[in-house]
Amino acid sequence: MLKKLFKLLIFILLIADVQAQSVAHFDYFTYKGNDDFYKQHPLKDSESFYNPLHPGFYPDPSICRRGNDYFQVNSTFSYFPGLPIFHSKDLVNWRQIGNVINRPTQVSFAGLGTSAGLYAPAIEYNPHNKMFYLVCTNIGEGGNFVVKTDDPFKGKWSDPIWLKFNGIDPSIFFDKDGRGYIVNNGDPEVPSRYNGHKAAWLQEFDTKTDQMVGPRKVLRDGGFRPQDKPIWIEGPHVYLIKGKYYLMTAEGGTGDNHSEVIYRSDSLWGKYEPYAGNPILTQRTLSRGRTNPVSNTGHADIIDTPEGDWWSVFLGCRPFQYPYENLGRETFMMPVKWSADGFPILTQGNDTVPLIIRRKGVKRDPKILRGNFTVTDQFSSTKLGHEWLMLRTPLQLPYSLTATKGFLDLKCLPITSLERKTPAAVLRRIQHHKFEVVTSVSFQPKTEKEAAGIIIFRDEPYQYQLLISKKNAVTTLSLIKVIPQEVEKQKKAVSTVLATSAPLKNISALKLKVVSDGPTFSFYYSENNKWMQIGDKVDAKHLTTEVTGGFIGTTIGMYATGNFELK
């Protein structure tokens, strides 16, 4: 009752304060997953868990271990905060403990596209100096860097230390003597023979100066079978296992032909001989018509346990209709098998990536959000939860959790989600094909330039928006599709209206809802606890990688702008 009275007071103040910049007050945000697979395949015992490990936009996983503690990180490109870090004691139950890039002063994404920014982080622990290191590439602003910490739980990683070498996808390896080395993707020594011809390079990393030292050497040119012109040797890792050095890389690009291959050497500097059974992970030979497909698998990392067994993490996609997916590249996990001649294997032949995995002796924590879960944020904390993201590094936060207690406030900043800036948008990953999102917003636009509501975002030219706005003194709700269009010989994001509601009467607490069945989205609103449809079965393929390109996944959340325009 008190909260309802508080909402009414907010609405009165909004109308009275006509001179101030308008603010949209979001009361709560509920996300509910409803995928068929989880309903049809309930977990039968407490030692089983669902794959993917992290559903939704969690690409390029890397993993390390210190004693019984496991840590895992992912790419975030131009989203902030960046590089989520997860912790587990058992490889099954994972909790996000923070983000490696959590200060706007660490890196800049200013003006970058959503598929630029932070690529392929790799995390490693050096027991010789008891430091954690993470190496990464900021595409478009700065290049390669390393950050470090002695305690990931504190959330205080160093500012980036920029590294002077060409290429992307660095990972760091500490040999048995504690000396560090960085292996990365780069141009070959010889002129490129074809588009996508790359090489894996190695150079020493001095842990005293945190800089690259000594000569650089190509460990592998091209990939597994150079005669087949393999593309994009990338995401390389080096391991020392039972006295042998292993070089593992992805190749084939991040689409259907993505794969993981491995090589072995008696010396760190090579010569690295390929495993005859390569690739050790791929789904490219399987039928597109298979049930519950996992596609695009690759970019793997492996880790041993104190007990001596090995596990892998890697990225993959779950199309709702092959090859269309709007969840982005997700983090999967599998146990590692070993060939008779001592190479790690994830899949061979027609092996499929399992969607349910068991780890004997480890019980699943029911509090970990997997399968079909429902989560509601009441915005009662002074900080956003780890699931929330913004676009690019905000010099000033576009939201407040303290200005109006129990609400997330978004100012109508003069920035839109169509620009390569930081709009007033707070977003979370879509993690299911079938899902429902509901929020309640109190918002009175003062000018025709102001709007607020829900946004489904893939990229600047690929969005859906359900926004409250005003025109000719009449407040309505508009369903908007953002599309790429050539304007004055330049490709720009352009808004087009799909549907408009009748004039709104009760905007002190308007409820908005999005329902997805996978291939389509449907949109609803409610003024007095009666849902009205405004858009039925809008094409979700518009937000899939097959249409948009790029490397990110789809996000959904709350949005406000003071530069709204409809033509």
Class of residue 487 by CB neighbours under 10 A (exposed 0-12, middle 13-18, buried 19+): exposed
Query: 271 CB contacts (<8 Å, ≥6 apart)?
Result: 265
273 is catalytic: no
Contact yes or no for 463/454 (Cβ under 8 A)? no
Q: Report the DSSP beta bridge partners of residue 524.
A: 513, 533
Catalytic residue, candidates 234, 301, 409, 527? 234
Class of residue 519 by CB neighbours under 10 A (exposed 0-12, middle 13-18, buried 19+): middle
Contact yes or no for 151/168 (Cβ under 8 A)? no
60 is catalytic: yes
CA 172 to CA 147: how far, in whole Å? 11
CA 264 to CA 398: how far, in whole Å? 50
CA 422 to CA 389: how far, in whole Å? 11
* Tokens standing for residue 461: 């030219």
* Tokens standing for residue 352: 């499929």
CA 174 to CA 179: how far, in whole Å? 6
Contact yes or no for 513/526 (Cβ under 8 A)? yes
Contact yes or no for 479/535 (Cβ under 8 A)? yes
Handedness of CA 9, 10, 12, 16 (dihedral sign): positive
Query: 411 CB contacts (<8 Å, ≥6 apart)?
Result: 21, 22, 23, 398, 399, 400, 424, 560, 562
Q: Report the DSSP beta bridge partners of residue 459.
A: 462
Query: 89 CB contacts (<8 Å, ≥6 apart)?
Result: 68, 69, 70
Catalytic residue, candidates 60, 301, 325, 377? 60
Unique residue bearing structure tokens 């070089």: 247
Contact yes or no for 404/485 (Cβ under 8 A)? no
3-state helix, strand, coil in the chain (%, to 5): 5, 45, 45
Contact yes or no for 427/389 (Cβ under 8 A)? yes
Active site (catalytic) residues? 60, 234
